[in-house]
């Protein structure tokens, strides 16, 4: 029996599915784990903008074992990881006990991480790794100055804080609840916790330059103010819109300070970039710390957990147990 969380025109429900519903693909996977991201929370609570084809199984990530394969890269029994690549947008996603994939952008479980840890990291961890790799590739060094992480209690922000701290960066982590999450962020490696209010409101086009780099998952005025505070030749990565899709900035930081604004596309990143990101995660993540920041839910609990995430009642990562190992 295949079970999955299906988004349709009439709502969202966990239901039984037949094999034909899974659609096309050259690799069949028994899904063991998924995880809950901001986009997943929007999808399973019926918010518009994520799922583009209806009806569709939600879940932008999956980790599982190959059952059948028409792709020479994959054999029955292999562990396989798919992040994005249309899952839960135009293709059935990971919140089902079985999936059929076009696995051209799938990767294996990297050495140094278990399948469970890979799922706990999920798209959030992989996106954080892409962001850190981009900052480093632009030549930003720990000696250049601190790196600001916005939305730091979320999945992307938490993992980015860990990766940057492990790489030797001075991490300034921003949150709207310093009293509640300050100790948590410091446990991840943040050297300073920045109240989100310090980054809110319409600021000047150029502000006091403080940050050699920025990992932003918030957007809006928070991103605009972060750009305005970036040091000359610094790099800002934008990977989310938890606060706003707007960017009320000016060209001033770019033409007077040489700031780089780099967009991070985790959905359709090339296979090589995905592999690099997972290698960084395998090297830079403390799995014991990851376990401490990860909560666990079953497939039956995903819809309620999605609402909790949108209500700000969840931080860190949420692992979803789908099927048997």
Q: Verify cis geometry, omega within 30 degrees of 0, for the bond prior to 55.
A: yes
Show the tokens assigned to 60.
Answer: 């932008």
CA distance 272 to 317: 25
CA angle 117, 122, 124 (to 5 degrees): 125
In eight-state DSSP terms, residue 53 is S
At 185 the three-state DSSP class reads: helix
What CATH topology corresponds to 124-263? Rossmann fold (3.40.50)
**Does domain 2-113+287-321 correspond to CATH entry 3.90.180.10?**
yes
Q: What is the pLDDT of residue 316?
A: 86
Cβ-based neighbours of 132, under 8 Å, separated by 6 or more: 160, 163, 164, 167, 215, 280
**pTM of the shown model:** 0.94
pLDDT-flagged residues of the chain (< 50): none
Upper half-sphere CA count for residue 74 (Cβ side, 13 Å) = 29
Residue 291 CB neighbour total at 10 angstroms: 14
Q: What is the pLDDT of residue 325?
A: 64
Q: What is the pLDDT of residue 88?
A: 98
Show the tokens assigned to 181.
Answer: 């999450």
- Domain parsing of the chain, residue ranges: 2-113+287-321, 124-263
């Amino acid at each position: 029996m295949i079970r999955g969380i299906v988004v349709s025109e009439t709502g969202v429900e966990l239901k039984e599915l037949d094999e034909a519903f899974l659609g096309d693909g050259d690799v069949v996977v028994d899904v063991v784990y998924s995880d809950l991201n901001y986009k997943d929370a929007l999808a399973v609570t019926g918010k518009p903008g994520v799922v583009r084809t209806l009806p569709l199984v939600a879940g932008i990530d999956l980790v599982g074992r190959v059952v059948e394969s028409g792709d020479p890269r994959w054999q029955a029994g292999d562990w396989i990881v798919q992040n994005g690549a249309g899952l839960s947008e135009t293709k059935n996603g990971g919140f089902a006990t079985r999936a059929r994939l076009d696995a051209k952008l799938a990767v294996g479980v990297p050495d140094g991480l278990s399948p469970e840890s890979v799922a706990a990291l999920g798209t959030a961890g992989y996106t954080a790794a892409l962001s850190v790799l981009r900052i480093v590739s632009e030549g930003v060094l720990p000696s250049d100055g601190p790196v600001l992480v916005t939305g730091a209690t979320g999945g992307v922000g938490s993992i980015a804080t860990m990766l940057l701290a492990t790489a030797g960066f001075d991490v300034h982590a921003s949150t709207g609840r310093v009293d509640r999450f300050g100790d948590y962020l410091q446990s991840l490696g943040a050297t300073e916790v920045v109240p989100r209010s310090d980054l809110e409101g319409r600021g000047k086009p150029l502000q006091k330059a403080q940050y050699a780099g920025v990992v932003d998952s918030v957007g809006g005025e928070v991103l605009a103010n972060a750009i305005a505070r970036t040091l000359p030749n610094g790099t800002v990565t934008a990977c989310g819109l938890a606060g706003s899709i707007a960017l009320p900035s000016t060209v001033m930081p770019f033409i007077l300070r040489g700031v780089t604004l780099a967009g991070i596309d985790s959905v359709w990143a090339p296979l090589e970039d995905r592999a690099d990101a997972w290698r960084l995660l395998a090297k830079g993540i403390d799995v014991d710390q990851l376990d401490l920041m990860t909560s666990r839910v079953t497939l039956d609990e995903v819809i309620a957990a999605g609402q909790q995430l949108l209500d700000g009642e969840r931080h860190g990562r949420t692992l979803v147990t789908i099927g048997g190992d």
